[in-house]
Copies of this chain bind each other. A is one copy, B any other.
Amino acid sequence: MKVLTKNTDYAIRALLALAAKKGSYMSAKSIAIEHDIPYQFLRRLLQEMIRHNLIVSKEGVRGGFMMQKDPDEITVTQLIEIFQGKVQVSECMFRKQICGNRANCVLRHEIMRIESVVQSEFEKVTIGKLLRDLEAANQVNPTAATIS
């Protein structure tokens, strides 16, 4: 069971790159090269993130993408929802005859409880937090390349 798929993974990397270059535009090409992300694939992900107002773009020469939303406001939960759909454990595990009373179904409650736990765990992880963690790690271990 793989929780994060490539698109979410790539989106996180791209956002970290943009967050590090906050205020200036960065082309899809340079992000792709820097983070080993398939170029055309990345471009689609970036456009999707524009639609969700996470980033903005500028067309033409010296154009590119720039952070729009505060990195501390972008959670992994949001990114999962954008690229993999809403986190849900199971639609409805048992057929109606068994769970006559869907609203009060204990099984359903159990499922929903887990759903909210999973969601809230991923909500704790923001792009801002990841970036700070990364920068701290690079100070401790300066031989590693920086993200920008």
**Which residues on A are within 8 Å of B, measured CB to CB?**
1-4, 9, 12-13, 35-36, 80-81, 84-90, 93-95, 97-101, 104-107, 110, 114-115, 117-118, 121-122, 125, 130, 133-134, 136-137, 140-141, 143-145, 147
Contact = CB atoms under 8 A, between A and B. Distances in A.
Contacts of A84: 1
A118 B1 CA distance: 11
B90 A3 contact: yes
A63 to B, nearest CB: 26
Contacts of A118: 3, 117-118, 121
A98 B36 CA distance: 12
A100 B15 CA distance: 20
Nearest to A136: B106
Contacts of A87: 1, 3
Contacts of A89: 3-4
